[in-house]
Chains A and B, each alone.
Chain A
């Protein structure tokens, strides 16, 4: 089943998955069963569905963290069926935000955020300017030197958001980004996510259980049993 945007872009989809199959444990567990999916530049898309329906797996395939068993995934016109150039892709094309922030606890907020810039070889000054800009947008400018261990859950997730956008990725993949936050913090982080995505023209693909948050996105895509059902 195809999930094509109603707010379609004339330039074509930036994310395109066609007949994607993925299984684990040598085929014992099939998670994705012929998924077709498209997203256009600047769209915010919520992927909803019960646990184990394949949301995270789809995000991982689109983010180049994994390869499909069958089918094709392309992002910005780049086929992700081979590992070649995957590092470059992950440095510049996509940013990840996970349910658990996945920050390095022994580094400061600033150092965590600079990791993608270091990986990409960005010069120190540009990286610092970009970080300050993002820190201002996320309200973290006073916390840059703080250890991750001293940050609240919301601050950690905002830090993860800053890090995901450090290299100017135009596609943001968020896997239950508010899943570990309380309702109020969750709302703050989600609003920030949407705001950043919309003002910077980022395509946001977010897996979530929270239908309230999902409804604020441009599109809501339902996943069930490894297949997609457009809402």
Chain B
């Protein structure tokens, strides 16, 4: 109890300094939580677009971005004929532009594609998709910002397309996108194949065999499971690394704040530490007081950071423009990681001050009274 009193007393002596340290950790934790959650959500959504309920994605080996991937139509057709394959959907990704909207994601898909098949049609009829080469289906948000409705013509790129349907999806990228018949998309983007082929197997146990077959039959292609793809896709890796780097820099700054507070705290009570030593406190006990202080700063900072981060994410969710683009599901594991990192930061910040405190010689500190 007296340990706690010593710790709290020391923190209370310099309240403003303590609050600033707590704020440093809190904003670092909030930044890390927000950035990582948003990016993981975005990555999850993008993965969802790619797989759309399938188990495997086949795409061109060693491409830096899926927009550059080219899976020949013959390969897609061959994959669809393999006995172990239940369903194979060739998808062509592209970016199109319209008058006031320079970037609209375009999905070139077949009428059987799960994105079209499983979508919530709020206008039009699914059977109409693919009947007309210039007929497109718009996501609900795309229809809003293009100010288009069923039957209207929308200018996309150099062409004009007719809206044959409007669908609502939970995925922001799809909801703000344009679905074109695959052949029309190939023509529009001057491609002969597709970006990816999503594969659903009859039996999931065949996944390793399927990957082997892809490697043997199509040396330029690679088949990956969803999770594998998320882990290995370089764009995702860059995004994840960026998120953790930003968060890590924030925590490092927070840690420096804690270190500064703890160093000042030790410097201003050298005599008190000497008194503890004269009364039989060991190095470990003195270090425990210092680490206790930094841990309390880190714990309060982490909790405040979680609260701030959660509020920030909820705030992002309320912004209409981000609707569907930001998945603000906070994973408990991420919260745990962030809190543990904050605690480690607090401990790291107390390392030097503790060593300094342990080196204080009572006889020198008490000599000049």
Chain A residues proximal to chain B, CB less than 8 Å: 56, 60, 65-66, 87, 90-92, 96, 98-100, 102-104, 106-107, 111, 114-116, 118-120, 163, 167
Contacts and interface: CB of A to CB of B under 8 A. Distances in A.
B15 to A, nearest CB: 13
B67 interface: no
Q: Is the interface of B mostly helix, strand, loop or mixed?
A: helix
B280 A98 contact: no
Given A102-B271, A106-B9, A116-B279, 8 more contacts: A56-B367, A65-B366, A87-B282, A92-B280, A98-B369, A104-B6, A119-B276, A120-B280
A97 B279 CA distance: 11
A91 B277 CA distance: 9
B107 to A, nearest CB: 67
A60 B275 contact: no
B125 interface: no
Contacts of A115: 2, 275-276, 279-281
Nearest to A92: B280
Interface of B: 2-3, 5-6, 9, 13, 271-272, 275-283, 285, 361-363, 366-367, 369
Nearest to A110: B2
B5 A100 contact: no
B81 to A, nearest CB: 77
Contact of B2 (A91, A100, A114, A163): A114
Given A90-B278, A96-B278, A119-B281, A102 B366 contact: yes
B363 A60 contact: yes
B3 A118 contact: yes
B3 A111 contact: no
A92 B281 CA distance: 12
Nearest to B271: A102
A65 B13 contact: no
A118 B2 contact: yes
* Most chain A beta-carbon contacts within 10 A, residue among B5, B9, B278, B369: B278
B280 A167 contact: yes
A111 B2 contact: yes
A87 B285 CA distance: 11
A111 B5 contact: yes
A119 B282 contact: yes
Contacts of A92: 280
Contact of A107 (B9, B283, B362, B367): B9
Contacts of B271: 102
Nearest to B367: A56
B270 to A, nearest CB: 12
Nearest to A120: B280
